Structure 1
């Protein structure tokens, strides 16, 4: 399941110059159901297809958006349960259900009835239950709940919301598959070579956690991507120290450095072999989730769990997304983990320091 929680669609990218940043208090008004459908790519980060989407509304603003792939009718109950679970966690005032598929199937009416009943059973009124063949402009939409409630989806790319998202530095992909391809290794041959180099390095590594942490900090502060095999190996070895990885969670919490850190995690996720790439992917997921990009977070976590099955931190974040745990609660958990790891590493440094007393 993909979720997005972008409470302010004009949230600025801290990497942008102050003069180029959008107004963080700006509110984009969605005038009708068609405008909401056109906003889905900007909210989700990609154009969903064959999907069931629930958009929540809280205090008059669009809140959490949850999406799942369509399933056969016997699995409708499971789909509804999973897609409505995050709504309960986020205490929504109302919701809009959206079915995106090429052709309206009569069986989909049963899916909508189940979803509406589940949400209203949670005291979340459903404002619209919509169908559209796609979220692109120029296609029809209609509502299952209200007679004569239909129209044409406006051009999402030309919308005010899309413009604000682009100004904020958010990228909208044509499909979820395009998002997945973003994490594919650019050079499989090099990845195999790095695997051998990492096996060799790990056997003789005597680098302390303090030194590993210094390597990570220098890489992020430099503003450049790793390019040599040596750089990739040093960074991979550093993140393989779980305490260093946990300290690196703090980068996701800092608006000033999160964009630079996320670029490094993305590059490492793409280029490192398994299992080392799992640690970079988890950090990429943390950054994405806390800036409201649940789709990227999910894709990164899928990569982490594939590279290292049973990865504890990946499982924790995956569960938080699946259950719709509010981002602020996740933020606090990550902050505590980063602080505990930092204190632990500092303790090692103190113990290893030479006695200078006389």
Structure 2
């Protein structure tokens, strides 16, 4: 699910809406059903789901999509199905019915197949001919506006998955050697801790806080962590107090997303849970739900019981907007939510 906290895109026609969708999601959808939520004339949210298998009942997935859209405080929605008509039509019909049942107005329902679009709600041949209308997103003013604003639409979801895929090849062997050195370093750190520091907890906490802050400082200065720094940070993050310290210092800033993407891709598989969850949290805070989703897919694929990843996955699936949990987390004092400082624009 992807919320849209980006510069407004002026959508005046079905073709404009189709040009906007890839920038709302972050990639060009295929074999998908998309619901674009509006409040007044403003697009506030976009949610995508895979088309159900032909033998599957589309009703329950459609109801889930409608619940997610309704949770955003939307007043209306446009439904778009991408793919062959025999798969798109049942899904679009089910989503239309579910949205209407949730009290939302369905402004339009479209099908996109092989570069043409059809409307399920328009029967005017001059507007919506039986053969459909060809459209070219590249020629749309919406596309130009989105690109000028710095928004990106990847070719497909696989390209988004590739952005969080692990580093491999010769670099992986180098990173594995760095991980061994990090383990040796941690053994020495704990072994040298005073007897009063039970299991080296204070020493680990101090080292972890320093590593997190150094990594974020390096990121702010446009510097990439070296292999030993990635290995040391990812190992320290296996300790929950250190993970929580990093979590408290993570928001939806571009730098947060860049840092945790880099660590997530370069960390050893057994150490990706924390950086994967931190990346998902940063992406969710930034309104990049699709990026958060692929980060969580990889994380939970290897660490299915990691609680923070499970929590974030639940928030994404239910379409909970970041504004509902502004100030979260505040793990220092249980039950206390500390407001986040608003960043001044232009700084």
1:141 aligned to 2:143?
A: no
> Closer, same or farther in 2 for the Cα pair 1:163/1:247, shift >3 Å?
farther
| Counterpart in the other structure of 1:228 | 226
**Match for residue 287 of structure 1 among 249, 267, 282:** 282
Contact 1:290–1:331 (CA under 8 A) maintained in structure 2: no
**Match for residue 130 of structure 1 among 104, 110, 114:** 110
- Local SS of the residue matching 2:270: coil
1:332 aligned to 2:338?
A: no
How do residues 191-340 of structure 1 correspond to structure 2 at under 5 angstroms?
191-206=175-190, 207-222=203-218, 223-253=221-251, 258-334=253-329, 336-337=330-331, 339-340=332-333
> Closer, same or farther in 2 for the Cα pair 1:215/1:227, shift >3 Å?
closer
Please tell me the root mean square deviation across aligned C-alpha atoms, in Å.
2.4
Q: TM-score, normalised by structure 1?
A: 0.79
How do residues 109-128 of structure 1 correspond to structure 2 at under 5 angstroms?
109-128=89-108
- Local SS of the residue matching 2:47: strand
| Counterpart in the other structure of 1:189 | 173
Contact 2:67–2:102 (CA under 8 A) maintained in structure 1: no
The structure showing larger relative contact order (alpha-carbon pairs under 8 Å, at least 6 residues apart) is: 1
Q: Distance in 1 between matches of 2:175 and 2:61?
A: 37
In structure 2, runs of 5+ residues without a counterpart are 191-202, 337-347
How many angstroms does 1:238 deviate by? 2.8
How many angstroms does 1:280 deviate by? 0.8
Contact 2:81–2:89 (CA under 8 A) maintained in structure 1: no
In structure 1, runs of 5+ residues without a counterpart are 11-26, 344-358
| Counterpart in the other structure of 2:78 | 96
| Counterpart in the other structure of 1:21 | none
Q: Distance in 2 between matches of 1:340 and 1:307?
A: 31
How many angstroms does 1:62 deviate by? 0.6
How many angstroms does 1:154 deviate by? 4.3
Number of residues of Structure 1 aligned to a counterpart in Structure 2: 312
The Cα offsets for residues 263-319 of structure 1, whole Å up to 9 and x where unpaired, read as: 111111111112211111111111111111110000011122123221111111111
| Counterpart in the other structure of 2:60 | 78
How many angstroms does 1:203 deviate by? 4.1
How many angstroms does 1:204 deviate by? 4.3
Worse-matched range after superposition: 78-87 or 269-278:
78-87
